[in-house]
Amino acid sequence: MATLIIGSATSASAKNPVEKGYAKRFADSEISRFPEAWMLDYCTAPFFGYSQGVGCSAMLAVWQQTGDRFYFDYVEKLADTLVNEAGEIHRYEPLKYNLDFINSGKYLFDCYAVTGKEKYRKAMEALLEQVRHQPRTSDGGFWHKLRYEHQMWLDGLYMCSPFLAQYGATFNEPQWIEEAVKQIKLCHLHTHDPATGLYHHAWDESRSQRWADPATGHSPSFWGRSIGWWFMALVDNLDFIPATHPDRTEIIGYVEGLAAAVVKYQRGGLWYQVMDCPEREGNYPEASVTTQFMYALAKAVNKGYIDRKYRKNAIEALAAIKDKLMLELEDGTLSLTQCCAVGGLGGNPYRDGSFEYYINERVHDNDAKATGPFIMACIELEK
């Protein structure tokens, strides 16, 4: 049995919903639900999945915030399970050229730095080997997967480019920072919509997909979570792009433009599954896009990329999540509701990228694609 956190749980934080320790409390709730990190997002067996990568990144952020080794150990236990002494990753299939696999490489940096286990460096190098051979569009943009020919997806920019930039910065291999910057600029070029300031979920260079606009190659809808991935990718990449880099100012401009665009579509503190039509019948406030924007806005303010006025939008998102999307269960754990489970394009059955497709994808609670950004967002707001 669960009850919405209404009344006493929110009245004390109504004026200031940013509670010290709230990120840790929610992280503890996730660990209670998923005692092993591979279980995050309801995974049934150990896997180097991107959802687990998001969740583990959040746990490492809690470790860095609190200094409590417990959260690091939760992540490193998974890494130690998945990566053998040769640096081979369990169930990793590099020849699928799936950018989603790269995301979990992000938690290997801390695992390597703290433990010194050479196998983690080898695993990161294996991920780079995939990227070296990743199929590309004619101008050099990564295909999202081998089976998604000629397509760049916003999702892929979060999955891969911050890993590349961090690798380049960590191991003094600046060519990987340059590759990350190149991918960002190409994705902006091919998916940005000047009329709204938003970004299309994907672009098909070949225009062969049924979802692709014959003139532009764009997918037809502004799916919230895909834009959330992109927004997070921008602010996370900037952690590793040097202040002197000639394209840094341009990328910060993307952050500024997107911040100005997304706040126009915030309703009651929340953002909706299909971004640009929150009032349309059937659309609904969705947890992952809301937590992703909350994180990106709060971090961008903290880093000085955007005006401090946007912190108000992030705080409003936190207050609305607590009031409308958060449950407190009988055991005292917190549960985040209304998370879109999955979203994509093409495939079988065919996903056409329409409004009707996105609003009818299944919804569940405590999806790591929402809970991970939520934890990281709360940490940014607590700073």
Active site residue 100: no
The reported pTM is 0.96
The residues with which 89 forms a beta bridge, in sequence order, are: 83
pLDDT in tens, 76-85: 999 999 999 9
Residue of 360 and 13 predicted with greater confidence: 360
Strand pairing category for 339-340 and 202-204: unpaired
Q: Number of helices and strands (H, E) in the chain?
A: 14, 7
Is pLDDT at 2 greater than 60 in this prediction? no
CA distances to 89, 187, 217, 377 from 153, in Å: 25, 8, 12, 23
Q: What residue has token string 């990161």? A: 124
Q: Which pair of tokens denotes residue 273?
A: 């599954």
What is the mean predicted confidence (pLDDT) over 126-151? 98
pLDDT in tens, 229-264: 999 999 999 999 999 999 999 999 999 999 999 999
Q: Is 190 exposed, middle or buried (0-12, 13-18, 19+ CB in 10 A)?
A: buried
Please state, rounded to an integer, the average pLDDT across all residues of the chain. Answer: 96
Q: Which of 360, 338, 348, 100 has the alpha carbon at shortest distance from 221?
A: 360
Enter the DSSP assignment of 88: P
Is-contact 43 93, C-beta < 8 A? no
Is pLDDT at 87 greater than 80 in this prediction? yes
Phi, psi for 136 (deg, rounded to 5): -135, 160
Is pLDDT at 63 greater than 90 in this prediction? yes
Is pLDDT at 344 greater than 90 in this prediction? yes
Q: Which pair of tokens denotes residue 332?
A: 């005292």
Domain limits for position 139 = 2-382
Q: How far apart are CA 54 and CA 184, in angstroms?
A: 20
Task: Give 356-363's long-range contacts (Cβ < 8 A, gap of 24+).
Answer: 356/282, 357/221, 358/221, 358/223, 358/273, 358/274, 359/273, 359/274, 359/282, 359/283, 359/284, 363/284, 363/286, 363/338, 363/339
pLDDT in tens, 7-20: 333 433 456 899 99
CA distances to 110, 245, 262 from 276, in Å: 38, 33, 9
Element (H, E) at 2: strand 2-4
| Three state DSSP letters for 36-74 | CHHHHHHCCCCCCCHHHHHHHHHHHHHHHHHCCHHHHHH
Domain total for the chain? 1
Specify the CATH number for the domain of residue 241: 1.50.10.10
Catalytic residue among 41, 100, 110, 155: 155
pLDDT in tens, 281-318: 999 999 999 999 999 999 999 999 999 999 999 999 99
Q: Is 285 exposed, middle or buried (0-12, 13-18, 19+ CB in 10 A)?
A: buried
Confidence at residue 314, expressed as pLDDT on a 0 to 100 scale: 98
What is the mean predicted confidence (pLDDT) over 107-112? 98
Q: How far apart are CA 284 and CA 57, in angstroms?
A: 27
